[in-house]
Amino acid sequence: MVDLNLHERTAYDHFCNIRHFLRWAESKGFKALDKEVLREFLALYLDNSPCTRKNIVSAYRRFFRDYLGMPMLVESFKLPRPKRGEHARFKELWFTKDDLQRFYYALDETLNPTRNKLIFMLYCTTGLRRGEVLALKLRHIDFETRSIILDMQRGNKRTGITFYNEETEQVLRQFLRENPNLSEDERMFKISGVGIKWVFVRVSRKLGINPPLTPQALRVWFSYEMGKRGVPDRYIDIFQGRAPNSMLAQFYTPKGIRELKEVYDKARLTVLK
């Protein structure tokens, strides 16, 4: 986090991967670590997705090369390169729009239903990351344009300009009526990432949605749905906080809020109808 400006969550993921590796090495009776030990552990994941192996190699690099200053241990390990846009977890979504609607109304039976329904709708209609939604403050929201402009520092991740639809606006106004003392500079949602995960898991199990819905899955649904409605990829990248990948996107895509809102509204994205 200090040297590489990594986000706290990214640093923690690297920590967990290295802890798992070290515990495995200890259970196998290794007294010292070298390339062969690292190679033997990575070989256990050859049948896993490229993303999983990429996470392990990235953790190797951060721990041994950047933290311990031992680049010779990891210089032979190359990052797997998944095909562009193809992540093993999301080749196909396992839920339908009807499932999303059933899920939304099932949130009425949870503790703090308005909060949970608003979080769910924000994931579906903004394309924001899990942590970005949970860190939202009122000052990030422009109610006139229904836009969300984040100003959070997230390590090497970008934040974008995105919008929410009229369905989400109704839930947001209900949430604000229930929380009239919410200040401009405090987090809107007093719940952690683990907390919202278990809300989603319990409701998914009750409805028979397996695997359970996750914020990441809803972010992918947003991307797929906007694409099906004719929104060019470069605009979806802006909404979701990804860096532009082409010269066209970098220099010839309108980035004014009014222009972006026109693109968003033209898609007529809905969840509940």
Give strand pairing partners of 147. 142, 163
Between 92 and 184, the higher pLDDT residue: 184
pLDDT for the residue numbered 247 = 43
Read off the pLDDT of residues 70-107 as tens digits, 9 standing for 90 and up. Answer: 999 999 999 887 655 444 444 579 999 999 999 999 99
Burial code (b: 16+ CB inside 10 Å, e: under 16) for 199-228 equals bbeebbeebebeebbbbebbbbbbbebbee
Average of pLDDT values for 17-46?
94
Name the nearest CA neighbour of 202 among 212, 217, 191, 190.
Answer: 212
High-pLDDT (> 70) share of the chain, %: 89
Give strand pairing partners of 187. 137
Q: How many CB atoms lie within 10 A of CB 262?
A: 11
Name the nearest CA neighbour of 80 among 47, 35, 33.
Answer: 47
- Cα-based angle 161, 163, 167 (whole degrees, multiple of 5): 165
Place of tokens 């990441």: 216
Q: Indicate if the pLDDT at residue 251 is higher than 50.
A: no
Name the nearest CA neighbour of 36 among 77, 71, 68, 69.
Answer: 77
Span 92-267: which CATH code?
A: 1.10.443.10
- Where exactly are the structural domains of the chain? 8-86, 92-267
**Would you say how long the chain is, in residues?**
273
Structure confidence at residue 5 as a pLDDT band (50, 70, 90): confident
Distance CA 262, CA 250 (A): 19
pLDDT for the residue numbered 89 = 47
Residue 54 is given by DSSP the state H
Distance CA 70, CA 249 (A): 39
Read off the pLDDT of residues 211-249 as tens digits, 9 standing for 90 and up. Answer: 999 999 999 999 999 999 999 988 898 898 876 554 444
Residue 149 host element (H or E): strand 147-149
pLDDT for the residue numbered 91 = 57
Structure confidence at residue 154 as a pLDDT band (50, 70, 90): low
- Cα-based angle 140, 145, 147 (whole degrees, multiple of 5): 35
Contacts (Cβ under 8 Å, ≥6 apart) of 100: 124, 213, 218, 221, 271
Structural tokens at position 131: 């942590």
Distance CA 31, CA 39 (A): 16
Average of pLDDT values for 12-32?
94
Query: CA dist 118 to 98, 101, 125, 168, 199, Å?
Result: 18, 13, 10, 7, 13
Average of pLDDT values for 19-25?
96
